[in-house]
Amino acid sequence: MIEVMVTGACGKMGREVIKTVWDADDMVLAGAVDSRGEGVDIGQIIECDRTGINVENDLEEFLKAKHPDVAVDFTGPQSVYHNALKYLAHGVRPVIGTTGLDNGQIREIIDLSEKKGVGGLIAPNFAIGAILMMRCAAEAARFLPDVEIIEMHHDKKIDAPSGTAIKTAEIILEQRGEEYQQGPATEIESLCGSRGGKYVGGIRIHSVRLPGLVAHQEVILGGLGQTLTIRHDSVTRESFMPGVLLGVRRSLYLNKIVYGLEKLLFDN
């Protein structure tokens, strides 16, 4: 049985992960950590009978007392970097779904994990369909000269653009092998930011935050006299759970952290 702890247990994603781990035949819930809800039985969080497992609020003390195999982290961009360093210090394999880490932090976490020989996963998106959307967009970018990304999330999401949008731009640029030169040099924004943000490499990314949304993304590619739109929609948080389970299981066989769920799906 794989012993799994969940950090950010009282958040919407944390609750969904706890339910999923609780129901998995090959996993056992080792504990739950959150800055909120200390002492609450997780049965109350996932709406089932009492489990005897209470929410704890001190990650460092939890890791000292218990030694789970894997930590699934859906906290916030302010804390996830420091959490990752703590997991690695204690030999726990992180599966991180929180976005907002910058490239330098991701590189540092991966380098440290490689030194320690501890596997894990950092994934901007755990939905299998979203990974396929990125893959299709990268393939299409070989043949259509221009692209823009529109990502849409719920109004409680802190970071913009989303990690998925950034990852999509990275994958497209890797496939294309050159930067984009979009729009005339004299392009004028009468309203600042109306053309979105220009990611490294010239791909423009637009972010929408509205109640009622979960996680959605369109990649719009343009060519002579035509456009192609590739879209993915996560309408419930359950859509991320197969990817989380895959990350937990595969992390046991990795000797360093990898960035992107596609590394586990396609790099075999």
CATH of the domain at 11: 3.40.50.720
CATH of the domain at 216: 3.30.360.10
Q: How many domains does the chain have?
A: 2
Mean pLDDT, the chain, whole residue set: 92
Average pLDDT over residues 63-74: 95
Q: Which residue range(s) make up the domain with 248?
A: 2-122+238-265
pLDDT surpasses 90 at 185: no
The whole model's pTM is what? 0.86
User: What are 95's strand-pairing partners?
Assistant: 72, 121
pLDDT band of 213, cuts 50, 70, 90 = very high
Are 141 and 215 found together in one domain?
yes
Residue in this structure with the two tokens 């690695």, named with its chain if needed: 88
For the stretch 78-116, pLDDT in tens is 899 999 999 999 999 999 998 888 889 999 999 999 999
pLDDT band of 55, cuts 50, 70, 90 = very high
154 is catalytic: no
Catalytic residue among 153, 167, 216, 232: 153
pLDDT of residue 184: 61
Burial (CB count <10 Å: 0-12, 13-18, 19+), residue 30: buried
Catalytic residue among 66, 86, 157, 256: 157
Which residues have C-beta within 8 Å of that of residue 106, sequence separation ≥ 6? 122, 259
pLDDT surpasses 60 at 268: no
Task: Please state, as a whole number, how many other Cβ atoms lie within 10 Å of the Cβ of residue 123.
Answer: 28
Of 196, 188, 239, the closest CA to residue 220 belongs to 196
153 is catalytic: yes
pLDDT of residue 105: 94
pLDDT band of 236, cuts 50, 70, 90 = very high
